[in-house]
Chain A
Amino acid sequence: MSLTSNPAPVDWQKASYVAAQAADARVNVELETEGMILNIGPQHPATHGTLRVVVRLDGEEVVWAEPICGYMHRGYEKLTEVRTYPQVTTLINRIDWLGSFANEVPFILGAEQLMGIEAPPRAQWIRTIFFEMARIANLTLFLGDMGVQLGALTPVFYAFRDREYVLNLIESATGGRFHPNYDRIGGLKDDLPRGWIDECQGAMRKVRSFCDELEDLLMGNEIFQARTRGIGVIPAAIGLDYGMSGANIRASGIDWDLRRDSESPLAWKEVDWKVWTHPDGDSFARYWVRLQEVREATSIVDQLLEGLPAGPIMSKVPKIIKVPAGEVWCHTENPLGEMGYYIVSQGGLGPFRCKIRSASFNNVSILSWLLKGVYVPDVITILASLYFILGDIDR
């Protein structure tokens, strides 16, 4: 017991630092004695990273909640101002690190729009394939992870197992499992290796069988439905007001998908696919919509692989890229939602200002409204179903 007796004398510097950190939250805590303030995070298994949600509880019911982010802020928007365009591509891979290729695409498309160049068709099709594979990689993790948050430990292992096929494919073509850094202004870095198309079709089959398995195992489970139906209902108008996008808002019934509804040089218009919506707007709906989206993504990839045009994958661009002056707003339907870049160029080697509009930032801002009056286990369910990535919130 001598190891634990005689505590060290008070370190005042550290104490004041801790007090400053505590005041940091600038949370408006009323001086009541009722209710318990609970800190969910920043280190917590349920918050997908370093998100901190401060809640005041009345028993197990949340009376007031406030999400506090910024524990992972890396200052991307300032960094892009002193980077060349290819260097920025490397940076922005790491915003949403699960579906990384999808982060590069809107930026590259915006820069190409400013330069007035178009990538050749083969490159656009392969970009679309990789975009959808990023979506699959991202959303399959969600499908398994939501089970873990609710207590079902097993589906997540199936998710990781089947995700490995997709990641291996991405690595074989680009060299990186998580951060492919594959997109270039004017096209792609390299063409696909030999045999890639067959392997990809095999991987898509496996992902589809995983989706079927999960539909029975998890989504059909009565306990899962009891935990997710009716929890965290987001009315469509409020969701749009907060700027929620992607599967979150489609689960509230809004039929909006930028792949279909915006002009984009990528190849989504060349294939047949469906936008999935669900009228309920609760956590189950969000899970259901994402499951269907994974299936749809595999079907898109299959169709694209069949019709892949031949040709060059890079158009003629100078070695050192300088984008002419102008402003452009370019957005795409990323796995997490709508992601966009507002690029201001003044003719230099890098952007003058690059505003990164990330989906999770808006998705998480709804939490303070959404979490009122829910139980603590439901807080976990809601956090899991909204599906944010910390890099996306904090940039």
Chain B
Amino acid sequence: MPPGKDALPPGGRWARISRPVRSKAKKFLAWLFSGKSEKASHLLILPASFWLSFFLVIPIVLLLVLSLAQRGPYGTVIWHPTLDNFRRAFTPLYIPIVARTLLYCGAAAVICLLLGYPTAYFLSFYAGEWRDTFLILLMIPFWTSALVSIYSWIIILGRDGLMNSVLTGIGLLHTPLDVLNTPFSVILGLVYFYLPFMILPLYSSLEKIPKQYMEASYDLGAGAFQTFLKVTLPLSLPGVFAGFILTFVPCLGDFLTAEFLGGPRTYLIGNLIENQFLMAQDWPFGAALTAVLLGAMLVGLYYYQKLEAAEIA
């Protein structure tokens, strides 16, 4: 035991601080946690609020301001307000990239919906006691680094990857297929990564449907298919829309999938933004592209909130 440790009065380390300071600090803490004052509650949330303002809101506001600036020589920024960056984003040079992003993300979201709906349906009505396990299994690929799942697709789809060696091995193919660097591989990567974003909202809206509704439908003579079409599917539509927004919107900002599973001909807005900030050093243009992305996100969010409000009402 270090010398002097047992000499500490009850109250331990607190006692080392001089008495007036200690009592003041104690009073302050008691006030802070008392809940008697409205100010104290706000003060407890203040550090978190400060953190979010400093590291999330201010950077985004700065980006919006930056998107109105101009690029100077050697990647410097000239603070002269202009809308040129936004105009440039919709010139023939960049429209294909914007259109491609919308197309790939839309396709990915639709495929996620088609693949995910039956799984969500299974989880809600047939998984029984295994439901929690299945839900965790769904979350694990979602929590692993995007890099890891992309890398594992490279192993499978690559020119001398698993798929080609199996297909040539069993004699189905004579020359290996070039699957990587095609729209197919990019959309596949997007679908794989964003599937959980689709299934979870679908699951939560399917799960809420009272079983009696389906039973009632059966009692009234409808078959399984008719019940699904006329009862289950319409009631799960909020989940369908929510899932679509939650897959489509984050998909718009993806750049890793196209970087590794695609090539320059499949680049998306995310790649363009990355390029403006890290290679081309045209930050104002990159900021304008990001602002477009944020705009799309806000529209999505608006509809998502509306859906939630409608569901509560």
Pair from one complex: no
